[in-house]
Amino acid sequence: MKKVYLFHKGIQHADQTCFALQESNQLHRFVTSRFFIKNKYPYKILNLFPDKSYIKKRLFTRYNKNLNVKNIKLFGLFSWINLILNFFSLGKSFNKYEYEYFSKRVIKDIEKDIKNIDIIWGFNNYSYDVFKKFKKTKVIKVLDLTIAFILDAEKRFSKKNDIYQLSKVERDKQILEVKLADRIVVGSKFTQQSLINYKIPSSKIKIIPYGFDETLFKKEYLKKRILKKNQTLKILFVGTINKRKGADHLINAIKKFNKSKVKLLMIGENQLDININELPNNIEIKPFMQKKEFLKYFYKSHLFCFPTLFEGGTITVFEAVGAGLAILTTKESTHKITNFGNIKLKSGSEKSIVSAIKKILNKPSKIEEMSLKSIKLYDEYKWSNYRKKVSNFINEIKT
């Protein structure tokens, strides 16, 4: 049985990868910087903060009840400091030290037990030093690339530096990580192609699509959406509210509609240079919240609109599938559900969003048609399917 050493600075979908390896007895250890373990230092510090504080909400998302804490090791001192500094908008300059601290601890941890490790599985922007250290060993290095390749991004946004920008250090690391990896796991064909475009052999790349948590988005809650004539179209956007995700174009598009016709709810960290208080009353922005909190909004909406310009495999779109929502998204979201109701959405185009919404308002039955397509995809995109594919992928690797 191959044993995998999994490491990730945060959590994101790494908890599902850990769960997959744990289920199949392929996990050696999961090392992370922020994972909530009750009554363990430094989580006792949370008692100093109010229950609804930003820090508590952020940290409580770093938890998955399915993971055995005995398999988890925390190297999170600097990440904790960085989280607090980010709260005061001071964390960016600290990222370098956070990375160096975490990488050094991971390397030392692997060295102590390398004889019992067959595969090390890391994530983009945090794997370079580790992969470089073990380049000449027999240990297989797997890179989980969660966003399309940086060189592809630079080509797309060469004249728009505010869309997707990494520091030179982060950029160079992402390129070198790809070169050092023995295998690369991606969440979509879009991400795979972004690598192939730069001569990364397809044989090195494995596509394992992400998914949604079926224990939250339960099948019993699925119901088709119906938009009645003259009913207000309720649109939902969940994710970081920034230019890369097309949030500015979506806001400008919705401004063109009367509140009796269309309402937009956006949930996420706002990174746009806008005054929320000056938005029209058919646009509402809610700050970051835990999944259990925003779940109800998926079921209260008709349409999930995500006009992103560049992704790797957007999990919130999978969650929209899990809720049975009608979906409007771009091909750059990396999903194959980009043409629901025969309505295409062009990235970077406010006009395209306006046109798509007008088509739905002119023919409200489109919502039911698009919702039914989501419902049919429910079983395909559950996290349990992702976990099976992770385990199978490990079995395929020759060590």
DSSP character string of 213-246: -TTTS-GGG-------TTPPEEEEEES-BSTTTT
**Do 226 and 132 fall into the same domain?**
no
Q: Residue 344's pLDDT is what? A: 82
**Do 225 and 197 fall into the same domain?**
no
Three-state SS for 35? coil
Name the band, by pLDDT with cuts 50, 70 and 90, for residue 262.
very high
What average pLDDT does the structure give for the chain?
Answer: 87
Position 252 pLDDT exceeds 90: yes
Q: Residue 89's pLDDT is what? A: 57
Can you tell me the mean pLDDT for 9-35?
A: 89
**Do 183 and 236 fall into the same domain?**
no
Q: Residue 133's pLDDT is what? A: 97
Q: Residue 354's pLDDT is what? A: 97
Q: Residue 327's pLDDT is what? A: 94
Domain of 237 in residue numbering reads as 219-381
**Do 72 and 114 fall into the same domain?**
yes
Position 250 pLDDT exceeds 60: yes
CB-CB contact of 310 with 332 (8 Å): yes
Please state the pTM of the whole predicted model: 0.89
* CATH at residue 301: 3.40.50.2000
Q: What is the DSSP letter of 48?
A: G
DSSP state string for 82-105: HHHHHHTT--GGGHHHHHHHHHHH
Burial class of residue 339, CB neighbours in 10 A (0-12, 13-18, 19+): middle
Q: What is the CB neighbour count within 10 angstroms for residue 269? A: 13
Can you tell me the mean pLDDT for 355-374?
A: 94
Three-state SS for 9? coil
**Do 200 and 108 fall into the same domain?**
yes
Q: Residue 337's pLDDT is what? A: 65
**Do 364 and 387 fall into the same domain?**
no
Position 267 pLDDT exceeds 70: yes
d(CA 119, CA 112): 15
Q: Residue 54's pLDDT is what? A: 60
> Edge-to-edge strands of the sheet including 119-123?
72-74, 27-32, 4-8, 119-123, 140-145, 183-186, 205-207
**Do 63 and 126 fall into the same domain?**
yes
Position 79 pLDDT exceeds 70: no
CB-CB contact of 353 with 249 (8 Å): yes
d(CA 348, CA 326): 21
**Do 232 and 301 fall into the same domain?**
yes
**Do 269 and 175 fall into the same domain?**
no
**Do 244 and 128 fall into the same domain?**
no
Q: Residue 94's pLDDT is what? A: 53
| φ and ψ of 29, to 5 deg | -165, 150
Name the band, by pLDDT with cuts 50, 70 and 90, for residue 38.
low
**Do 152 and 241 fall into the same domain?**
no
Position 27 pLDDT exceeds 60: yes
Position with higher pLDDT, 18 vs 161: 18
Can you tell me the mean pLDDT for 103-112?
A: 95
d(CA 213, CA 380): 12
Among residues 233, 239, 261, 252, which one has the least CA distance to residue 348? 252
**Do 352 and 242 fall into the same domain?**
yes
Q: Residue 95's pLDDT is what? A: 65
Number of structural domains the chain divides into: 2
pLDDT digits (tens, 9 = 90+) for 208-221: 999 999 999 999 99
